[in-house]
A and B are shown apart, each in its own frame.
Chain A
Amino acid sequence: MDIRTAVPTIYGDEWTRFGETWKSQVQQLRERFHGQIEDVRMPQEQPTDVPIVYVKKSAVIEVLGYLKAEPGFDYDFLADITATDEEVDPRFEVVYNLYSTVKKCRIRIKVRVAENEDVPTAVGVWAGANWAEREVYDMFGVKFAGHPDLRRILMDYRWVGHPLRKDYPLRGYQIFPTTAPIDTDLLK
């Protein structure tokens, strides 16, 4: 079966419920952020469950703030921030998964970012982006400019490398003999 026809059945009746909403929202985004939207992937046309909007890095915070506050969008919940290592140039895609508690629908914003390139932080839009961005930094080494506390969140701070990068060895174990000393700065 062609994946493009399979997607709507996999993901239920999302398209019949939100198809028109998504179409008008994407249209509005294209008009409002003319030239800042690189690409849009819609369900049924492309193998995806929700619309994916590729945004230029310079405009991403503006777009996220717009989606959060603008009436008619109301994407007021940041479900997750993650990333993918595409092994092409630019190397990474930072993914923002948004959910609207008003309209009960989702949208996905993606930013293409090269290696050793910073992404502006979304902490100003969602305070909850803090830990999500730390995780992306920990796993992929993507840095977020303006982040208040960009440290590793999951791996030991003595860890070398970023384990979810495609070039990190699958069995690149790093076992430390002692527990990490307490960071006394955190006790202040």
Chain B
Amino acid sequence: MSKDGSTSFLTTRLEDFISWGRKNALWPLPFGTSCCGIEMMATLCSDYDMARFGAEAIRFSPRQADLLIVAGIVNAKMAPVLKNIYDQMADPKWVMSFGACASSGGIFNVYSVTQGIDTIIPVDIYVPGCPPAPEGVIHALMRLQERIAAGDTHSQRREAAQKRGATQKGARV
């Protein structure tokens, strides 16, 4: 690439270019069910400013979001609702399990609480803490971006497997 921009082009693989676009435009759906939701708001606000990572466009419709942030406790009664929301999101989609309750049920090891959302939906990244500090959330987001770039997420692996299956059958991808 020249300095004056006259011959500006660079070469890359199409998949890498798409992943680069995806990882820098994560639109989160906040599934904030309890106190972790407050820390999520703090992460989005100006002090920590998740907009720096392209993840400031909060969407409250699963159709328009690609990162599901489950921030807080998921009750047994809430579990099918979460599953529904995940199913409604368009591929490729990613899930962040935010805090101890979403990751493992936290301190609530009782009849009414799901013991981790990974019993219901596939999770790409876990954030420890009760609740996690905003720095932890940003760290998780950056790790997720690395994984998206590497194609190492549930959604991308699923997509790749589908493509492989289609190619093996001789269908056009």
Give residues in A with beta carbon < 8 Å to B: 154-156, 163, 168-180
Contacts and interface: CB of A to CB of B under 8 A. Distances in A.
B120 A171 contact: no
Contacts of A171: 109-111
Main secondary structure of the interface of A (DSSP, over half): loop
Which 6 A-B residue pairs are closest in the complex by CB-CB distance? A179-B80, A172-B111, A163-B111, A175-B79, A176-B80, A178-B80
B83 A177 contact: yes
A73 to B, nearest CB: 37
Nearest to A176: B80
B111 A173 contact: yes
Main secondary structure of the interface of B (DSSP, over half): loop
Interface of B: 76-77, 79-81, 83-84, 109-112, 114-115, 119-120
B110 A175 contact: no
Contacts of A177: 80, 83
Given A156-B76, A173-B76, A176-B79, A163 B84 contact: no
A123 B60 CA distance: 40
B111 A175 contact: no
Contacts of B115: 173
A119 B109 CA distance: 32
Given A163-B112, A170-B110, A170-B111, A175 B81 contact: no
